[in-house]
């Protein structure tokens, strides 16, 4: 019988109402006991590194979850992480970079309604996540939620209340779970043994997301310089960057000043789907080949945050950061041609 490690971190799935709003209270053991249908599926071990609302999840907490998986890796066949939905996409992306080429599945799930709610989605999500983690074809990091398995680098929370809360952005879902049946799309093969699991133990949390809005002052980059090593810049459309802010300062000067000082800029788009191409319009082409400016292509902002933190955690050399950033990990990017 396979052995699965259930890692409880809090979130809505573990929440109860105490008169001041929902907050995590149930333990991992209590959550497992709430779904008697999982009894007999596997040998289940439960750990509880934290019990928090995922709004309070920080990069240091990603490392705590990573450490739990590393410590239990040899003794378990798979891992299911119970997590709040609000930042689940960030955690899934971070674990995709911290634990690469894993032949053992690492599955994140949660719920839109607490386990104790009479109309909860928690029971089915937990049950199907365990089924997916036990399947011989499952590997690497993924989110299983609402009957869909999504690569850990491609998930985004799209809905705040509906049970199908997550979508797979710019990449097909890995599989659909229909009751007890896993239906795969054929794009994801089994793990190749020649690529052993690779654990990473450092990230740089000094990464900021800046969304462009009409008239924003380019001087915001100078204000961020003391606190951050990289900025994820959400541009307009397919890669449009205004020439000047309301103050009259040039965006190009401010961005080039940032990267020429040894910091990193990652260009992406604030449009949800289809990605960025800096070469299409004149207002983006000037940035396409400038050293220190990286292109997010079709990656999600959540994944860009995690990947940039990971890349900067491995090296301060610009060429090595670029190599790491443009490497493909867990289906995270399809380069724009």
Q: How many CA atoms are closer than 13 Å to the CA of 174, on its beta-carbon side?
A: 28
- DSSP code per residue over 188-249: --PPPTTS--EE-------EEEEE--TT--TTHHHHHTTT-SEEEEEEBTTTB--SB-TT--
- In contact, 12 and 84? CB cutoff 8 Å: yes
**What pLDDT score does 160 carry?**
82
pLDDT one-digit tens code per residue, 126-152? 999 999 999 999 999 999 999 999 999
pLDDT beneath 50, residues of the chain: none
DSSP assigned state of 316: -
**What pLDDT score does 144 carry?**
97
- In contact, 131 and 182? CB cutoff 8 Å: yes
- In contact, 84 and 143? CB cutoff 8 Å: no
From the list 12, 85, 109, 268, the catalytic residue is 12
12 catalytically annotated: yes
Which residues on neighbouring strands pair with residue 71, listed in sequence order? Answer: none
**What pLDDT score does 189 carry?**
57
Dist CA 246 CA 249 (whole Å)? 8
- In contact, 143 and 166? CB cutoff 8 Å: yes
**What pLDDT score does 190 carry?**
57
**What pLDDT score does 285 carry?**
65
Cα angle at 131 between 11 and 178, to 5 degrees? 95
């Amino acid at each position: 019988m396979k052995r699965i490690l259930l890692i409880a971190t809090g979130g809505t799935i573990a929440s109860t109402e105490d008169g001041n709003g929902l907050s995590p209270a149930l333990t991992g053991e209590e959550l497992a006991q709430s779904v008697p249908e999982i009894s007999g599926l596997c040998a289940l071990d439960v750990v509880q590194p934290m019990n928090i609302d995922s709004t309070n999840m920080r990069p240091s907490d990603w490392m705590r979850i990573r450490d739990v998986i590393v410590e239990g890796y040899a003794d378990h066949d798979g891992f299911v992480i119970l997590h709040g939905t609000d930042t689940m996409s960030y955690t899934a992306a971070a674990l995709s970079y911290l634990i690469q080429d894993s032949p053992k599945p690492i599955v994140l799930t949660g719920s839109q309604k607490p386990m104790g709610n009479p109309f909860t989605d928690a029971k089915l999500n937990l049950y199907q996540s365990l089924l997916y983690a036990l399947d011989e074809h499952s590997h690497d990091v993924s989110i299983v939620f609402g009957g869909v398995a999504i690569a850990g680098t491609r998930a985004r929370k799209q809905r705040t209340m509906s049970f199908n809360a997550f979508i797979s952005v710019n990449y097909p879902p890995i599989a659909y779970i229909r009751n007890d049946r896993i239906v795969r799309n054929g794009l994801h093969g089994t793990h190749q043994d020649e690529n052993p699991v690779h654990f990473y133990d450092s990230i740089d949390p000094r990464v900021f997301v800046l969304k462009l809005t009409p008239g924003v002052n380019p001087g915001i980059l100078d204000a961020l310089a003391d606190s951050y090593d990289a900025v994820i810049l959400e541009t307009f459309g397919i890669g449009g960057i205004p020439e000047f802010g309301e103050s009259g300062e040039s965006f190009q000067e401010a961005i080039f000043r940032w990267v020429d000082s040894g910091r990193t800029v990652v260009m992406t788009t604030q449009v949800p789907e289809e990605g960025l191409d800096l070469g299409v319009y004149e207002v983006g082409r000037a940035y396409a080949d400038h050293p220190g400016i990286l292109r997010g292509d079709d990656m999600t902002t959540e994944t860009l945050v995690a990947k940039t933190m990971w890349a900067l955690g491995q090296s301060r050399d610009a060429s090595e950061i670029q190599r790491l950033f443009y490497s493909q990990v867990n289906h995270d990017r399809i380069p724009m041609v």
